[in-house]
Structure 1
Amino acid sequence: MKAVRVALLGCGTVGREVVRLLDEQADELAARVGAPVELVGIAVRRPHKHTDVPAHLLTTDVSGLVNRPDVDVVVEVIGGIDPVRGLLLDALKAGRGVVTANKALLAEDGATLAEAADASGADLYYEASVAGAIPLLRPLRESLAGDKITRVAGIVNGTTNYILSAMTAAGAGYREALDEATELGYAEADPTADVDGFDAQSKAAILASLAFHTRVTAADVYCEGISAVTAADIAAADAVGCTVKLLAICERVPGVDGPDSVSARVYPAMIPNTHPLASVDEAYNAVFVEAEAAGQLMFYGQGAGGAPTASAILGDLVAVARNRVGGGRGAKESLYASLPVQPMGETPTRYHISLEVDDRAGVLATIAGLFAQHRVSIATVRQDLAALDFVPGASTGRGARLVIVTHTAPDAALAATVTALGELDEVLGVDRVLRVENLGRPVSALGVA
């Protein structure tokens, strides 16, 4: 059989593993595909630095490699938006299959790539863009195509999960845990994309698009990172039997008087220690998928790293190569639902609020009245037994600490309530505010179902 000829764009940590696996597993890949899979070129910026790959494959002419007439499949592991977008569009328009791990590009402008693929009949595969080696996107797109998915939620960024795990296990502060993650190679020199939630935001957009047959971009996903999480937040969660995780949550929200909508958000939240996601530590990823017929499914494994990501890329490459050999084509983009995206302010959520108040009669009634004014129901109130002595601003010189957990309410109402609390004379300070998620399970640790 005629070989399936592959061009590789980028040869960093992931790219080197792709080259290695293509070489070591050449015979098995040929047997699975039905034809040899031949690497014909690798585009890099500085060829002299890549002494561990065959020199005759290296080129700095990335556009020339993409547009070579003998190339069948383009594998992209460069990352970023431009010039990669133009390169992949060139490949797709020419009918070449594309395999990419580029979550940022897919979340920002996946629509343009999908439209180009549909127009030419080319394959566009991107399993490696979310959760590394974990087979997640293909089950959403194919295995669960006969079911109705209602929620996809989980931990999709290994760096932030390592940091929060270290803070939980050792009582470390955020900066100390970040330094440790950087030293061990879990965090980049510039960790902004991870710790500010942008990496998870892109992945959430991809997950929501596939799960709900609706085009969702990164701009549609509400995003908060973990840089404001403190050791005190971790301790507060532990006190009520919870742990803090950075969650990506994508939900199909039933419509009341209109169509369903899609909610997609990323933020740190408290989850009960009894939930399986609470035990996912270090740099691992785990995602729960809930569907009407299948129920709850959990996907767990290494969400990043050269070899795991390369594994997902080769899985896609085999699928694309098989289609080339057999004359078939993979699943096209599914957008039939086209559901509206629910604004974060309308999204139901719950808060865990810790605040210092003036230790005198009537304060609790005033605070409860403020919650009622904003139509937010209080689920539990806990007061620390020990009063805070010599608190500035307290009428008696003493303060007390209240911990309030709310029932579900629109996020905008909860945010307005927290703002109003800070303006009360009786409130000396709002210490900590964290969202609470039960992810379909009772939050028994907080005394609320």
Structure 2
Amino acid sequence: MTIGIGLLGLGTVGAGVAAILAQPEGRHPLVADLALRRVAVRDLSRPRPVDLAPELLCTDPQAVVDDPAVDIVVEVMGGLEPARSLILRAIAAGKPVVTANKAVIARYGQEIAAAATARGVYVLIEAAVGGGIPIIEPLKQSLGGNRIQRVSGIINGTTNYILSRMADEGAAYEAVLADAQRLGYAEADPAADVQGGDAADKIAILAGLAYGGPVAREAIPTEGIDRLQARDVAYANQLGYVVKLLAVAERLGEGAGGEALPLDVRVHPTLLPRQHPLAGVHGVNNAILVEGDPVGQVMFYGPGAGAGPTASAVVADILNIAGIRRVGGPEAGLDPLLAASSWRQCRLVDGASTRHRNYVRLRTCDEAGVIGRIGTCFGQAGVSIQSIVQFESSEAGAEIVVITHEVRESAFQEALEAIRALHEVEAIAACLRTL
């Protein structure tokens, strides 16, 4: 029996999905049973990377959702609206949905999950995080018996490409970004990538799945790489670190007595020791490190974006649903909801109470005793220093880099305030997290 597919969007990912469905040879046998019935595009006259019959195309996405020949709706158009409304429309019509839209799921996942539960349909989202890396289903199923302590990852290929180039070549951020845009790795407007928003969407989804409850996307502290300077990447290298844009979700307690589980969820540039599992992830690749009990550390690595990897994940979800239809529905055993694992409440802790190691670069006068006075400020705030190094010294001044041991954020900020008050300190030029 043929299963009709309605495709919302025919951009990079949509064209990749269409290409897979058009060439089922050598793939899973179920692919041959999938047929594109209708495809929504913005412009009918635009050239396409995949050759489709003209009668399949339309400019009305609602017509795709409502078409009785469409059994599964695949949303790869991106953006918040009309994507959210179309997903809910498909659910209301009793049609399962596959989506790669991390922005919609990060913000409206609970609403969509509730609608899917009420209607008894599937919403699968493997392609929303990590491109071709299988991480959603492993978190929901394969690792379900673990007590997850921490999920951390490099989950934005654009920023990882930029940081890899900066580290390898000593190039400035602006120059590498321009190259990334020319090569198609970065959008003309790269804000969602370089300011960390894309990674924050994805870690919100992963945190919800790992810890069993929704995480407020808007509350996630987010810092990108758009203000990162090449000299900090170079200094990190000299100290034995690499700089990566890291997305982290970490359990900070038990949430005993019915209280919400306390989580530290954040996105920021981070210094990683060279021996760290994520330190060797280069270029546009992504990697997600899951740490749990009893499994220990498990890392998922691979291409995090692009037509091929993301389309691969979309089609995998389609096949999941197609397989269930063949054997009789939800009783086949697949979790029917993108957020069916939401079985408890989670809360983000106050950032001032979290504990981290830190990298600080200071511009100072080059005179005797400066390092001692800086050390005193840290010591009086209860901040233990791992290393303090003077990198430059001239008539114009000096640059001093400090790496702290793990410390409570409020104490660290107290130390920085005292350092800012020193007349010898011209500026706190950079402040990054360190693992």
TM-score of the aligned structures, taking structure 1 as reference length: 0.90
Question: What's the offset of the Cα at 1:162?
Answer: 0.4
* Map 1:38-437 → 2, pairs under 5 A: 38-50=35-47, 52-255=51-254, 260-329=261-330, 330-331=334-335, 332=337, 333-384=340-391, 387-389=393-395, 391=396, 399-437=397-435
CA contact (8 A) 1:388 1:401 kept: no
Identity percentage over the alignment? 42
Residues 357, 404 of structure 2: 8 Å contact kept? yes
Shift of 1:257: 8.6
The worse-fitting range, judged by mean Cα deviation, of 212-221 and 190-199 is: 212-221
Distance 1:61 1:77 in 2: 15
Gaps of 5+ in 1: 392-398, 438-449
Aligned partners of 1:8 and 1:42 also within 8 Å? yes
Specify the SS of the correspondent of 2:279. Answer: helix
Shift of 1:177: 0.6
Query: Pairwise CA RMSD of aligned residues?
Result: 2.0
Q: Is the 8 A contact 2:208 2:214 kept in 1?
A: yes
Query: Partners in 2 of 1:88 and 1:169 — Cα distance?
Result: 43
> Which residue does 1:396 correspond to in 2?
none
SS of alignment partner, residue 379 of structure 1: strand
Counterpart residue type for residue 42 of structure 1: V
Contact 2:215 2:347 in 1 (8 A): no
Question: How many residues are paired up?
Answer: 425
- Distance in 2 (CA, whole Å) between partners of 1:5 and 1:159 is 34
Aligned equivalents of 1:15, 1:233: Cα separation in 2: 39
Please report how far the alpha carbon of residue 118 of structure 1 lies from its aligned counterpart in structure 2 after TM superposition: 0.5
- 1:13 aligns with 12
SS at match of 1:287: strand
CA contact under 8 A between 2:384 and 2:404: conserved in structure 1?
yes
Instruction: Name whichever of 348-357 and 202-211 sits farther off.
Output: 348-357
Q: How far apart are 1:380 and its partner, in Å?
A: 2.3
Q: Please state how far the C-alpha of 1:426 moved relative to its aligned partner.
A: 2.7
**Alpha-carbon distance in 1 for matches of 2:71, 2:193:** 34
Separation in 2 of the partners of 1:69 and 1:159? 39
Deviation of residue 28 (structure 1)? 4.5
1:22 matched to 2:16 = no
TM-aligned CA distance change 1:12 to 1:401, over 3 Å: closer
Tell me, in whole angstroms, the C-alpha distance in 2 between the residues paired with 1:50 and 1:16. 11
Flag the 1:32–1:337 CA change in 2: closer, same or farther, 3 A: same
Offset at residue 420 of structure 1 (A): 3.2
1:445 match = none
The AA in structure 2 aligned to 1:423 is: A
Specify the SS of the correspondent of 1:340.
strand
Contact 1:93/1:119 (CA < 8 Å) preserved in 2?
no
Shift of 1:26: 6.6
Does structure 1 retain, via aligned residues, the 8 Å contact 2:385–2:405? Answer: yes
In the aligned structure 1, how far is the partner of 2:16 from the partner of 2:364? 57
Distance in 2 (CA, whole Å) between partners of 1:184 and 1:50 is 20
Structure 2 residues without counterparts, runs of 5 or longer: none
- One-letter amino acid of the counterpart of residue 161, structure 1: N
Taking structure 2 as the reference length, the TM-score comes to: 0.93
Worse-matched range after superposition: 112-121 or 327-336: 327-336
Alpha-carbon distance in structure 2 between the residues aligned to 1:256 and 1:357 = 45
Which letter does structure 2 place at the counterpart of 1:39?
L
- State whether residues 252 and 262 of structure 2, in contact with CA within 8 Å, keep that contact through their aligned partners in structure 1: yes
Q: Could you give the per-residue CA deviations for residues 190-244 of structure 1, whole angstroms, max 9, x where no partner exists?
A: 1111001111010010110111111013213210000111111111101101110
Contact 2:213–2:343 (CA under 8 A) maintained in structure 1 = yes
For the structure 1 residues 179 and 21, does the alpha-carbon distance in structure 2 shift closer, same or farther, using more than 3 Å as the test? Answer: same
Q: Which amino acid aligns with 2:190?
A: P
